[in-house]
Amino acid sequence: YYLLCVWWDKMSENDNESMKPLRELGNNYFKDNLFKEEEKIMKYGKQLAIGRKRNGSIYYLDMREAARIVILGKTRSGKSFLIRAIADRIKKIGYSIVYLTDVKNEAFSSKEPVQEKFRHLLLDNEKPEGMRIVTLRPTFFKQIDRGSIPKANRYYSVNLGAMTKADFMTLMNAESMTQPQQIILEIIFEKMAGKENFSLEDINAVIDEINELNAAQKLAMRFKFRPLATSYFYEKEHEKNIIDMIRNDIAVAINMENFDQFGQGGFLYPEVFVSMVMRMVINARVKKVIPPMLLILDESSRFVPVDKNPCCKRDVMEAVDIYGRYGISMVFGVQEITKIPIQIVKQARFLCIPYSADVGTIRDCLIMSSMVRNIQSSSNDAIYLKKSLKKYEWLILDTINNTKEIVKITCPLSNHVETGD
C-alpha cells in the first residue's frame, strides 16, 4: 500500500495535463471504493427480529401471516417499549401503522430517532430512525384540554354520517336507560341515519314528532341529548382524511390520554370514537386501499372489557375473528390478562409476559393460551418460568409453535418517551 501511494503521488507530480483525467478518476476510485468499509444495514422481513434469546441468537416474531399479539404488563413494566419496538420494525417492511388508543400520548415522539442511552440494545446493523407519524386528538377532549392542545397533536373529528346504531346506542349509554327510552333512541337514530352535520335542534324536532310521548317525557329526552351539543364530539372543521395519510406512508396515532376522565356513567365518547375509526381503517384495508396493517390497542381492557358490551368491543372481536385474512395484525396492551375476553387470548399467536409478572399471572397466561400439559402442572411450570426470568427480560409464548422463549427485547428505532413505561 505504501509503495502504491508513493508511485501515485510521483505520477501526479510529473505527468502532463493529458494524464489529469486519469489521475482524478483514480483518486476518486481510491477514496470512494478501495479503502471505504462497506456499510452494513439490517434487512427487515416478515420474520421480524425483536430481540435476543439466552443463547445469543435473534428471536423473531413470525409475521408471515397476520398475527394477534397480547402484551401484558403493569405501568413501568416495559409494555410501551415493546409495542413500539414491534411497530417501528414492521413499519420498515411497508405496513400501515395505526395506534388506535395512544393512551399516554407517546407516539408523537416517534418522529425522532431513539435516544443514545438505549442504542446499545439495538441488534447488529440496526440504525436509529424516526418515522413519519401524525397524532390526532379527538375533538371531544377539548372539554378536558381546556383550550391547550397537547404538543404535536392535531384535533380530529369523525363524520357523524358513519355512525351505526350500535355506535349511537353506546354514545347515549343506552344500557343505563329504561326499555321505553331505548326504543325512543332507536326511533331517533332511524330518523337521523345517513344525515351529516345534524344538530341538537334536529334531534329535538324528531322527539317532538313522537306522539306517544307526553310533554314531560319529551323534556326528559331533550335533557338527555343536551350534553351532545356542548361535547365537541363532532366539529366539521376538524374532519381529516386519515386514509390518505396512511396511503402516503404516514403512521397515525389517536391520542386518548385522560380517556378515563369520562367515566362510565355518561356519554361513552372514547369507545364510540375508537369503533368508528377502527371500522374506517379496516374497510380501507379490506378494499386494499392501504397496505397490510398493524392495529395497536393499549389499555385494551377498557375498550374490550369482559363484563360490558360497548360498540367498540363488538367491532374489535369481529376484527380478531375475521380480518386476519386481509392482512390486519393486532397488538393488545393490557395490565391484567383476565380483564380482556378469553377469545382474544385464544386467538393470539404471541403472548408477551414481562419479568415483573407474578406467578399467578404467568399461570393464567399458560392456561388461557393452552400452553400447559395439564392444569395440575401449570403452577409448577409458572414457578419455574418466574424463577428463570431476569430483570428486563420477557417470556414470549408462541401458541402456534408451542414454544416458550425468554428474550431480551431490543429498543425501538424511534424516540421513546421515558416518562411512560
Tell me, what's the pLDDT at 81?
94
Is 194's pLDDT higher than 80?
no
Lowest average pLDDT, out of 132-146, 302-316, 407-421, goes to 407-421
pLDDT at 14 > cutoff 60: no
* Res. 270: pLDDT tops 70: yes
**Predicted local confidence at residue 21, as pLDDT:** 53
Q: What's the pLDDT band for 419 if we cut at 50, 70, 90?
A: low
Note the pLDDT of residue 211. 84
Query: What pLDDT does residue 305 have?
Result: 92
**What are the pLDDT digits (tens) for 227-243?**
777 788 888 899 999 99
Q: How confident is the model at residue 260 (pLDDT cuts 50, 70, 90)?
A: confident
For residues 3 and 208, what is the distance between their CA atoms, to the nearest angstrom? 100
| Pairwise CA distance, residues 84 & 71, whole Å | 11
Provide the pLDDT confidence category of residue 197 given band limits of 50, 70 and 90: low
Q: For residue 38, what pLDDT band results from cuts at 50, 70 and 90?
A: very low
Output the pLDDT for position 37: 45
Portion of the chain with pLDDT greater than 90, in percent = 61
Note the pLDDT of residue 220.
85
Residue 36's pLDDT band, with cuts at 50, 70 and 90, is: very low
> What pLDDT is attached to residue 107?
94
Lowest mean pLDDT, pick from 28-42, 288-302, 325-339: 28-42
Q: Is the dihedral of CA 371, 376, 377, 379 positive or negative?
A: positive
